[in-house]
């Protein structure tokens, strides 16, 4: 792989293997031998359809990794280290697109499902530390690499546009149009459910528009599997996937953590009787996050904490549903109706959280 030679790595490359994770970028791990020492690196080809401003994206990551390197040691964590190119840049363009390289963090485990409150607490603490560390950075120095990425109103508008597009292609008779019309008919219950939840979008939009919920640098993808846990001690060690670090709002990070880590099923589970949210895990997440990020949380945000999980499940569910209605143009899919299945799980979580709102409020 020609791209690897662009990075300032010493030694001889002895192995390259793909790492099949994530919905967006392509990742490989390489092994190098340098004077008898073995070292590994993580290389990513950045998806330019999703990240159209790679310079801005990598500029954000440079700011974030620099700041985290200053605070990680004292907090007992590690941060990701970018390996520069031989020209001293943080990324390069080679055949096939833009590339970057990180030092590989050895001896860690990644989990797609949370083992219980203890692991949830550790996850919330590391993401809380992450956010508190970045809270002193000026959001105006960061690029918005995917426009309106965190805006609930924008996600709502994209959903509406997908429905309108299907409406307008209804009678053109092409195979593609017929397929999308059929998708809409089959997804009517989900479309109706989404509409019934518009109040949640409006509530957050109003607070964001008035500035009562401030703009902050967030992680933007606080899934449990974006935390590396030490293989020996089981402790949370390092936050990865810095692609969506950009101006957003604190409660998005908390809500995304609830959406994924407190989920009682896989994100693409087809048996909806398994989908839902664990109250016990939710409580552990709220406790850990408030302990570590509290300096960065305003009283209003504290008041809205219990609605952050439902909001982000709804927004991500809308994104999956919108992608399904557009013919799977954004998220990678591995089977028919994959995005619809994902949307259903998110909406089941919204429903479940709605049914235990009082308990979440008291957490």
Q: Which of 4, 29, 50, 157 binds ligand GN1 (CB under 6 A)?
A: 50
Closer of 85 and 276 to ligand GN1 (Cβ): 276
**23 near ligand GN1, rule: CB under 6 A:** yes
**98 near ligand GN1, rule: CB under 6 A:** no
Q: Using CB under 6 A, which of the segments 17-25, 59-67, 90-98, 347-355 binds ligand GN1? A: 17-25
Q: Which of 6, 22, 283, 324 binds ligand GN1 (CB under 6 A)?
A: 22
**323 near ligand GN1, rule: CB under 6 A:** no
CA–CA gap between residue 267 and residue 8 (Å, rounded): 37
Mask for 228-247, x = binds ligand GN1 (CB under 6 A): -------------x-xx---
- To ligand GN1, the closest distance from the beta carbon of 62 in angstroms equals 18
Closer of 32 and 149 to ligand GN1 (Cβ): 149
Closer of 236 and 316 to ligand GN1 (Cβ): 316
- To Mg ion, the closest distance from the beta carbon of 164 in angstroms equals 28
Mask for 192-231, x = binds Mg ion (CB under 5 A): -----------------------------x----------
3-state secondary structure the chain: CHHHHHECCCCEEEEEEEECCCCCCEEEEEEEEECCEEEEEEEEECCCCCCCCHHHHHHHHHHHHHHHHHHHHHHCCECCCECCECCCCCCEEECCEEEEEEECCCCEECCCCCCCHHHHHHHHHHHHHHHHHHCCCCHHHCCCCCCCCCCHHHHHHHHHHHHHHHHHHCCCCCHHHHHHHHHHHHCHHHHHHHHHCHHHHHHHHHHHHCCCCCCEEECCCCCHHHEEEECCCCCEEEECCCCCCEEECHHHHHHHHHHHHCECCCCCCCCHHHCCECHHHHHHHHHHHHHHHHHHCCHHHHHHHHHHHHHHHHHHHHHHHHHHHCCCCCCCCCCCCHHHHHHHHHHHHHHHHHHCHHHHHCC
Q: Using CB under 6 A, which of the segments 19-27, 175-183, 247-255, 293-301 binds ligand GN1? A: 19-27
Closer of 159 and 260 to Mg ion (Cβ): 260
190 binding partner (options Mg ion, ligand GN1, none; Cβ < 5 to 8 Å by kind): none
Q: Which of 78, 190, 253, 267 binds ligand GN1 (CB under 6 A)?
A: 267
**24 near ligand GN1, rule: CB under 6 A:** yes
Q: Which of 221, 268, 323, 341 binds ligand GN1 (CB under 6 A)?
A: 221
Binding site for Mg ion (CB under 5 A): 221, 241
């Amino acid at each position: 792989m020609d791209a690897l030679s662009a990075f300032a790595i010493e030694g001889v490359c002895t192995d390259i293997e793909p790492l099949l994770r994530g919905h967006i970028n392509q990742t490989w791990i390489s092994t190098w031998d340098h004077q008898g020492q073995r070292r590994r690196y993580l290389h990513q080809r950045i998806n330019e359809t999703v990240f159209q401003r790679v310079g801005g994206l990598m500029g954000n990551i440079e700011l974030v990794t620099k700041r985290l390197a200053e605070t990680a040691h004292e907090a007992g964590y590690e941060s990701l280290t970018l390996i520069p190119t031989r020209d001293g840049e943080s990324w390069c363009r080679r055949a096939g697109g833009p590339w970057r390289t990180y030092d590989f963090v050895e001896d860690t485990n990644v989990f797609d499902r949370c083992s219980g409150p203890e692991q949830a607490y550790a996850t919330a603490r590391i993401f809380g530390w992450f956010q508190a560390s970045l809270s002193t950075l000026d959001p105006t120095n960061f690029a918005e690499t995917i426009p309106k990425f965190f805006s609930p109103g924008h996600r709502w508008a994209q959903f509406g546009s997908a429905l309108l597009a299907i409406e307008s292609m209804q009678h053109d008779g092409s195979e593609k149009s017929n397929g999308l019309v059929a998708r809409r008919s089959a997804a009517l219950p989900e479309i109706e459910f989404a509409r019934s939840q518009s109040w949640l979008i409006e509530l957050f939009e109003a607070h964001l528009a008035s500035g009562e919920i401030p703009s902050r640098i967030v992680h933007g993808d606080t899934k449990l599997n974006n935390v590396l846990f030490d293989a020996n001690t089981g402790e949370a060690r390092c936050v990865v996937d810095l692609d969506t670090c950009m101006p957003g709002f604190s409660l998005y990070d908390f809500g995304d953590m609830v959406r994924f880590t407190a989920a009682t099923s896989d994100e693409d589970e087809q048996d909806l009787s398994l989908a839902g949210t664990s109250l016990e895990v939710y409580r552990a997440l709220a406790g850990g996050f408030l302990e570590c990020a509290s300096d960065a949380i305003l009283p209003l945000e504290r008041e809205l904490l219990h609605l952050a999980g439902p909001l982000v499940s709804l927004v991500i569910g809308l994104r999956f549903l919108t992608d399904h209605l557009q013919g799977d143009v954004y998220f990678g899919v591995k089977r028919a109706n994959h995005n619809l299945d994902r949307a259903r799980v998110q909406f089941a979580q919204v429903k479940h959280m709605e049914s235990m709102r009082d308990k979440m409020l008291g957490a």
